[in-house]
Amino acid sequence: MRMKTRAAVAAAITATLLTGCTTTENTGSGDGAAGVTDTTIKIGGILAKTSATGYSTGAAEIGAKARFDRANEEGGVNGRKIEFVGAEDDGMDPAKGATAAQKLVQKDEVFAVVPVSSPSFGGGGFLEQQGVPWFGWATGPQWCGLKSAFGYNGCLAPSPGSSTQTWWGSQVAAELGGADGKTAWIQGTDSTASKTGVGNIGLSFTAAGFGIAGTSAAIPATAPPQDWLPYVNKIMDAEGGPPDVVVSIMAGAKLNAGLFGALRKAGYKGAISDATSYDPVVLKDPALKAGLNGVLSSPQFEPFESDLPEVVKMKADITKASGGGAVEFTQHMAVGYWAADVFLAIAAKAGKDLTRESFLAAADAFTYENPGFGRIEYPKDKKEPNGCGALVRLNGDSFEVAQHLKCTANTPLK
């Protein structure tokens, strides 16, 4: 009796699995056609909407939606509209990211995951194993070298033997009137991605002509330290004296404002640059605004303050997708928008007979340029950055373009 019951349960589970993997609407065959019907392509995203530090990439969701909405208004991709189911929150927790990826693929049956933006994303291994394309901000090594992973700006944590970007150092050098005789300090957090990034960003500045006064990846990644003095003293006591520029690759305005404010309190007079403080939230918080005033942030797209036609169009699309009212444009909105833009370009190239296999094949020899974010070339840029970025300065109560988007040649990563 017990054996018959087990057999019945097993048969029921098998039937359920088969039913869940097969629909009459899907074109193609097998899992490669999941999320695709004759008229739609289902997409979902994974973002760090919440985190212990307050850092959030949640605005990338509306950016992606804005680009997908415009694609749908223009007729879709080869006759198919994008069905965007929104983005999951991984809380900047790798385990939650893996769970979110499994949910989107196995329960929601999405074709691809767009956008993905989380410093600690943990779902990449599952998506690669399933052959599910995923697009976003490739800030860590978990993105790089995978067939299914697509950073809209390339791989930002390349491995030795590949190449790394020089644009950040080049842009800061241009802003400071040259790098001859100047030094840079590269600061990260105690996280895998940050430790990797410290060395890579250091090469960007040496390629531009800066000397490296020192590097550190010791600041806690989960919350600002109670006492900044040990970290500040290390920078101020660098060999040769305080550096000409302090470069932070830490994620989160609170971490950066805390360090920068403490540096200035200690008498630091040099330039400061980071990757994440280009955020309107900063303008609403007096402490953040004071700590980040004058900082050169480094978005990897043409800034919202630009009058470039592609940027004007992006702002109009985001405003429309947000309901038509006033919008506070954020860096993460642009990340979501341009990640979706690159996905759409590859989907168009893949043609009418769309499967994950045909999509990945189309991406194997893909070159695309857009003045809004620069250029991308796959598979090359699965192992190295696209080499493009701008500088934005916080000036009192508003941001201003310090250096317009520029693409520079990468340098070998030894």
pLDDT tens column, 20-57: 333 333 333 346 889 999 999 999 999 999 998 788 89
8 A C-beta contact, residue 115 and residue 86:
no
Span 334-363, mean pLDDT? 97
From 63-67, 164-168, 197-201, 319-323, the region with the lowest mean pLDDT: 197-201
Shared domain check, 147 and 16: yes
Global pTM value: 0.85
Q: What are the start-end ranges of the E strands in 52-182? A: 81-89, 112-117, 134-136, 149-151, 163-164
Span 138-161, mean pLDDT? 92
Number of structural domains the chain divides into:
2
- For residue 345, give the amino acid letter: A
Shared domain check, 188 and 78: no
pLDDT above 50: residue 9? no
Shared domain check, 196 and 50: no
Instruction: Give me the pLDDT at residue 89, please.
Output: 98
- For residue 340, give the amino acid letter: A
8 A C-beta contact, residue 250 and residue 222:
no
How many residues are there in the chain? 414
Q: What is the CA radius of gyration of the chain?
A: 22
Instruction: Give me the pLDDT at residue 21, please.
Output: 36
CATH number (domain holding residue 373): 3.40.50.2300
pLDDT above 90: residue 195? no
pLDDT above 50: residue 364? yes
Span 8-29, mean pLDDT? 34
Q: What is the residue range of 140's domain?
A: 2-153+308-383
Q: How confident is the model at residue 200 (pLDDT cuts 50, 70, 90)?
A: confident
Two tokens at 227? 């006492």
Shared domain check, 170 and 213: yes
8 A C-beta contact, residue 202 and residue 215:
yes
Two tokens at 217? 């990846």
